[in-house]
Amino acid sequence: MTDRLVDSFGRVHNYVRISVTDLCNLGCQYCRPGSALSCKVKSELLSFDQLTAVVEALAHMGVTKVRLTGGEPLLRPRLESLIGRLSGIKGISRIGLTTNGMLLGPRASLLRQAGLTDVNISIDSLVPERYAGITGGGDFNRVIKSIESSCKAGFDKVKLNVVLMHGVNDDEIEAFLKLTINYPLFIRFIEYMPIGDRIQAWRSEYMPAESILARCEEKGWQIEPVGNTGQLIDSLHGENDISGPARYYRIAGAAGEFGLISPVSRHFCESCNRLRITANGCVKPCLYWNEEWDLKPYIDDEEKLRHVFLQSLAGKPLRHEMTIAKEETSSKPHTLRQMSQIGG
């Protein structure tokens, strides 16, 4: 292995998130409100050959996990083919997909056969009408069928992502938690992040993920942490290639677990192990900052490609400043891209 992906603060990077398209068939209010199916950079998307070359270079530098995002990644034609190619790269042990679930159901088994190991499905409400409102027209029943199909397909993990929004879906927290009591599901509550042009909405709808624990206490539910509490710190030294930002808990006697992802109230920057590739082929070392480096001119030269990755890590900040955004005193401008272009 050459040129390990280590930034100036000693953080080892072994995980890449790739936005394969900024196209989406929904218009979620926290991501791309009113812009379902729009695509500004379609002609600039990296080809499967280019994406494979990027991941091969990253694998040579120690990356072991890839997650395909969007937009809606299943709108990218022949995605199974790309997954098959990526799963054949030496060193890549996990390939995940983050999806809204609209197109997943009929393809779940094929994706698993191609080499997909994990799937995260976004579902921000259990009320069909509210779900349609949050997503700009999403079909709740299709998402439920996709969850069922994914469980049957045999993925290593099926996780459900819920973006917490005060005054929008916070009255459903108990209903989501009850799902983990009755079913072997992993439900992750994610704090609303001030990304793109949604700052004003974020200020009114943000709520800390820790409030989930308070709800459990109100219900009299006993909860206990699940898993290795040192997992994130291990990733700092490159010892854990499947670490993530969620802190998991289990309600006593529950079949499943719930996780809290707190990028704003309790950031996990000290253990960040990920790079992001945007829909138009730029590497973005930090989700929140504008800085990014164009990969396209260097894809045919792995040595130059590795240099760009190292250059991007040299400029990666110690931490984001999402917690400062409310006072508008950040030392750098926050990202102007929509979440669908970055890939989350």
159 annotated as a binding-site residue: yes
198 annotated as a binding-site residue: no
Instruction: Tell me the C-alpha to C-alpha distance, in Å, between residue 324 and each of 4, 317, 319, 344.
Output: 32, 15, 11, 20
- C-alpha to C-alpha distance for 344 and 341, rounded to whole angstroms: 8
DSSP string for residues in 8-61 = TT--B--EEEEE--S--S---TTTSTT-TT--S-GGGPPPHHHHHHHHHHHHHT
151 annotated as a binding-site residue: no
98 annotated as a binding-site residue: yes
215 annotated as a binding-site residue: no
203 annotated as a binding-site residue: no
- C-alpha to C-alpha distance for 51 and 343, rounded to whole angstroms: 15
193 annotated as a binding-site residue: yes
Instruction: Tell me the C-alpha to C-alpha distance, in Å, between residue 201 and each of 141, 287, 327, 343.
Output: 27, 19, 15, 20
216 annotated as a binding-site residue: no
122 annotated as a binding-site residue: yes
26 annotated as a binding-site residue: no
- C-alpha to C-alpha distance for 5 and 312, rounded to whole angstroms: 10
39 annotated as a binding-site residue: no
188 annotated as a binding-site residue: no
275 annotated as a binding-site residue: yes
Who contacts 145 (Cβ-Cβ below 8 Å, separation ≥6)?
105
- C-alpha to C-alpha distance for 148 and 168, rounded to whole angstroms: 26
From the annotation, which residues make up the binding site for [4Fe-4S] cluster?
24, 28, 31, 269, 272, 286
From the annotation, which residues make up the binding site for S-adenosyl-L-methionine?
30, 71, 122, 193
From the annotation, which residues make up the binding site for GTP?
17, 67, 98, 159, 274-276
From the annotation, which residues make up the binding site?
17, 24, 28, 30-31, 67, 71, 98, 122, 159, 193, 269, 272, 274-276, 286
